[in-house]
Structure 1
């Protein structure tokens, strides 16, 4: 089954951004004159999906005013923020059945549309999730180590050679197995790893993490350059 919905994660506090998120949520911080979340929506729109959802928590009224006119459905998390796994599960009534794209909203991509790459490679018979990962030479602004290793068949395990880019296709049925209300998608990936059904694609372009203030200038330089694919 091909995904027909996308979930944009936009609920976080953006604490790594320091004072930049004092008066706005991180997805509304501008890169090259446009909010981060609009750069993310640029990746989603070419897929012409019938359902696109964003979750809200920190300063939700600002994101609501920005996203509702664009036709984005909203899943507000209150009184507590639910983390990525809990947030995705809470949004399922809006997303509908079947696998979904999930997309972090604090990255800039230079190269092919990662969502189109995922859709072209998705195999529902073999996969519970398909992630985009990037090798270090193609990464800007990331502070931390790698996340996964990828074998020749595209299956992944916890490792250090590639960094998760924050986009994936994921089946949502395993979300119901998590007892906690607040939980990370890592809890779901661990179950997929046990089933040997967690896969990744290696991104051929470049990717910039805009999770901290230094990432803004890096991302703007990346956008100003010719994509190196």
Structure 2
């Protein structure tokens, strides 16, 4: 697409790579471009899984481009259709997104990883939210992090801005796996291929249900479940019959997404 955002497509998988030396920081044009990229992924019926990665080994992403901000590009400017980094506020993204974290994920880079459904990290990766030292609210992380890891650990990271290495992130369940950097991408692609072979309508229903459930009680969510668009589509789909049929015929199911 551009030198800043490149994509690789393999079947139903889209790999999106951010490449902005030295720290893969994101300025407004890059954020808008990422939003258009993920919007196109969302709207392409042939694509089922996305991988988010960045170039280089030192920085996964340093978040907001402070040089852009210093030059007059306001922090609260136009991030684009998906909000910051294209994923944070993209509506109706009901497909799995995997973060491939190799290096430092700090401030908005940490929030970019949190915007994904699965996070795989290299063993030299680290995470931090040092906004507190500048008197700034890490808004998206403050909303998301206490829901992903124990509350007291999330508050410690937000209050102190301390660093968390990959092993600690794994202990708290923030990342799915920690691997040597030379094995990271192979593992991420292995998982992406596994998901690409799964039932896309069920994945969509899982993501919408989980998103709706964040703001509701268990019973309210259950009461609303049959009215969710993705659940309604799933219940009347060919795929809803394919699973039982494949089981009865002792074969692997063939998911068509319809």
Which band: TM-score by shorter chain? Answer: under 0.3
Q: TM-score, normalised by structure 1?
A: 0.27
Q: TM-score, normalised by structure 2?
A: 0.25
- Structure having the higher strand fraction is 1
- Structure having the higher helix fraction is 2
* Higher RCO, Cα 8 Å, sep 6+: 1
